[in-house]
A and B are shown apart, each in its own frame.
Chain A
Amino acid sequence: DTGVSQNPRHKITKRGQNVTFRCDPISEHNRLYWYRQTLGQGPEFLTYFQNEAQLEKSRLLSDRFSAERPKGSFSTLEIQRTEQGDSAMYLCASSLNWGTADSYEQYFGPGTRLTVT
């Protein structure tokens, strides 16, 4: 168990550019979550996958944001036409569910810090 990994750890981009982040969850975990955290705030939910299906999306996830988990393993989060307000830490988390046993504990990666200049 190597934990949740995220790449890159840091990304600096110019306003208007597209960026893509990758998350690799804990290998046996079937649920994957994306959160965004800004300075002085707690993480805010963006979206959630169960296997490859995207089941929940927050109002925070504007049309410029898209997330995928094509094979139910790793996930990508893309932001198109970045704005300065997108500058934040983007956190990925995963959790495990099987049968009737439901686990609500989510395990977080180290995050990708995005700076839009």
Chain B
Amino acid sequence: DQQVKQNSPSLSVQEGRISILNCDYTNSMFDYFLWYKKYPAEGPTFLISISSIKDKNEDGRFTVFLNKSAKHLSLHIVPSQPGDSAVYFCAAKYSGAGSYQLTFGKGTKLSVIP
């Protein structure tokens, strides 16, 4: 049972435009969400995170939005650059005390076309 879902396996965007990557979750016990970027032959790289008590977090070109009622979050990249081409993973953490494991989605491959 996939508790974190990224329903779009791939996304193509023109350079300079906005990239929007979506993530849905089913477990209301998740209280912290993270986005990771992964290039081939490398480990995932932390991008940005958001606590469940917030609805938006911004860091440079990257903004994450959280809609708790819809159990949905999205990552916006503006403007998109060719170097952003990678696989993006959404991850979530349980709220249980002492629980630090992350549950990942399957990823979305972003291609930014020059």
Contacts and interface: CB of A to CB of B under 8 A. Distances in A.
B98 interface: yes
Interface of A: 4, 31, 33, 35, 40-45, 48, 55-56, 58, 91, 93, 95, 104-111
A31 to B, nearest CB: 7
Interface bracket on B = 20 to 34
Contacts, number: 59
A12 to B, nearest CB: 16
Contact of B106 (A41, A104, A106): A41
Given A104-B32, A105-B34, A105-B49, A4 B43 contact: yes
Residue with the greatest number of chain A CB neighbours at <10 A, chosen from B34, B41, B46, B101? B101
Nearest to B98: A55
27 contacts: A4-B43, A31-B100, A33-B100, A33-B101, A33-B102, A40-B106, A43-B89, A45-B102, A48-B100, A56-B98, A56-B101, A91-B43, A95-B100, A104-B34, A104-B93, A105-B46, A105-B49, A106-B46, A106-B100, A107-B46, A108-B36, A108-B43, A108-B44, A108-B45, A110-B41, A110-B42, A111-B42
